[in-house]
Structures are given as structure tokens and as C-alpha cells.
Amino acid sequence: MTKAATGGPFQIDQKIQSSFSEKTWDETITKDSWMVFKIMAEFVDGYERLAKIGPCVSIFGSARLTPENEYYKLAVDIAKKITELGFGVITGGGPGIMEAGNKGAREGGGKSIGLNIDLPFEQHFNPYIDKGFNMDFDYFFVRKVMFVKYSQGFVVMPGGFGTLDEIMEALTLIQTNKIGKFPIIMVGSKYWSGLLDWFKSTLLENGMISEDDLNLFRVVDTAEDAVAHIKAFYDKYTVNVNF
């Protein structure tokens, strides 16, 4: 075992300490500084291309669901009905629910946008995205900004960690008044029941959220109810670009 370095309340292993050489730090700082320009480029490209799309609704959900799955079929139906309201559809651009959303938009004759991300598995462009709107991102946080800024609603189908990340981002931004309220619809009451029970029995009971926070989203089971909630919201409020 290596001897720990002394010099304060915290002990740093000599092997670890030696790895943090001045040269290493200099190289890291330089690399991080140049990374800013790559991040800026993704933002600029996203803003310039998506500013032209008009009102859209984003559809989120698992990349792992096949066309035979009931939620895949439901996502196609929801997306098609969304375009009939005059909205385009934005998805993560990949397979599964994302493909279903773009497919429904294509069938409904609406705009179909895909915001893809470079991942080691699962992710590839689906064939239902409009030409010129199959965008590719390296950074999740840039991609999430594009979803929030250019969507007038979120439809959240069953999914995993990525889907949870996206819905929690939107709920947090609305809860903290960083963006204006827009429809957030969770589809599949059976699928989401465990999460909703935890919201109420743990978060609410312990004072981590308020009763009103539970009104930031709606849970539905049909395409008709999902689209009806979006329509009712925009019958009352005007469509605006977020923040």
C-alpha cells in the first residue's frame, strides 16, 4: 500500500497525487477550453435549423420497443393525431418509440424532426424523418435544450432512464419558472403507476414537492385523450417558443 501524502485534513494517496501533474492539468484545461467551441457549434446549428419548424410536440419513449408493441402502435396514432392539430413532431430520431413518432407524423403529413445522439448502442436514424431535419448531437444537454425550446408539448411514452431524464428536466424547468408551462402527458397509467405512487407517497408526503406540482402533468391511456389535452391547452393559451 502506498504511503499517503500529508499536509492537511485530507490524505491524498501519492500515486493519485502524482497523476495530477502540472502538465496534465495544463493539457486538460486546454482541451476543455476548446470544447466550448464544439458545444457552441451544436447550439448554433440547432437554433438556426429548428427556428424554422413552427409549433411542434415532442414524443419520448424507449428505443427498445418493436413495431409489434402496443405502445409503439399507440405512439404512431398519437403522432398522426398531433399533426392533424397542426403541430409537427420531434423525437430523439432513433428506433422504437422515436421511430413510431416520426412514422405517425409522416403518415399524418406533418413535419417530422429527429434529434439524434451518438450512442454506443440502440441509436440510429429512423427512416421517417424529414430531409434536413435528421440532426445529430454529441452532447445530451444541448439536445435537451433543443427539445425544450422548440416543443410546445411533451408526450412521454413508456421508456427507461433517458425518458425519465427528459420528463424530469421539463418538470423541473416548469416547476422553477425557468420556462412557461406547457402540456406534459404521460401515456400508460399502468406503466407509470409505480412512479406516480412514489411521487405521492414519498415526495409529497415528505414535503419535497407541493400538491400543485402534481398538476404539471397529465396521465392518459388513449391517443384521443393525449391529443385532447394538447388541444384544450392551446385553445386557452397562445403558442410561444419556450424561453
Report the C-alpha gap between 87 and 84 in whole angstroms. Answer: 7
Q: What is the overall mean pLDDT for the chain?
A: 90
Domain assignment present for residue 16? The answer is no
CATH of the domain at 119: 3.40.50.450
Neighbours of 34 (CB within 10 A): 9
Contacts of 83 (CB under 8 A, 6+ apart): 89, 104, 105, 108, 109, 110, 111
Residue 242 pLDDT more than 80?
no
Domain assignment present for residue 146? The answer is yes
pLDDT (mean) for 78-91: 97
Q: Whole domain around residue 99: which residue ranges?
A: 39-236
In the prediction, which pLDDT does 4 show?
45
pLDDT (mean) for 142-169: 96
210-218 own/partner pairs: CB under 8 Å, 24+ apart? 213/171, 213/175, 216/171, 216/174, 216/175, 216/181, 216/184, 217/167, 217/171, 217/184, 217/185, 217/186, 218/183, 218/184, 218/185, 218/186
Q: Give the tens place of pLDDT for each residue, 37-84.
A: 999 999 999 999 999 899 999 999 999 999 999 999 999 999 999 999
Domain assignment present for residue 44? The answer is yes
In the prediction, which pLDDT does 5 show?
47
Neighbours of 89 (CB within 10 A): 32
Domain assignment present for residue 64? The answer is yes
Residue 211 pLDDT more than 90?
yes
Domain assignment present for residue 33? The answer is no
Indicate the pairing of strand 4-5 with strand 12-13: antiparallel
Domain assignment present for residue 8? The answer is no
What 3-state DSSP class applies to 127? coil
- Among 67, 80, 138, smallest CA distance to 112 is for 80
Q: Rounding to the nearest 10 degrees, give the CA dihedral for residues 37, 54, 100, 220.
A: 110
CA 164 to chain centre: 8
Domain assignment present for residue 124? The answer is yes
What is the side-by-side strand order in the sheet with 112-117? 134-137, 112-117, 88-91, 56-60, 154-156, 184-187, 218-220
Q: Give the tens place of pLDDT for each residue, 95-123.
A: 999 999 999 999 999 999 999 987 766 56
Residue 185 pLDDT more than 90?
yes
What 3-state DSSP class applies to 161? helix
Per-residue pLDDT band at 241 (split at 50, 70, 90): low
71 close to 188: Cβ distance less than 8 angstroms: yes
Quote the DSSP letter at residue 91.
E
List Cα–Cα distances, 16 to 5, 10, 19, 31, in angstroms.
10, 13, 5, 21
Per-residue pLDDT band at 1 (split at 50, 70, 90): very low
Prediction pTM value: 0.86
116 close to 123: Cβ distance less than 8 angstroms: yes
Domain assignment present for residue 6? The answer is no
Tell me how many domains the chain contains: 1
Report the C-alpha gap between 150 and 168 in whole angstroms. Answer: 17
HSE at residue 186, side-chain half, CA atoms within 13 A, is 23
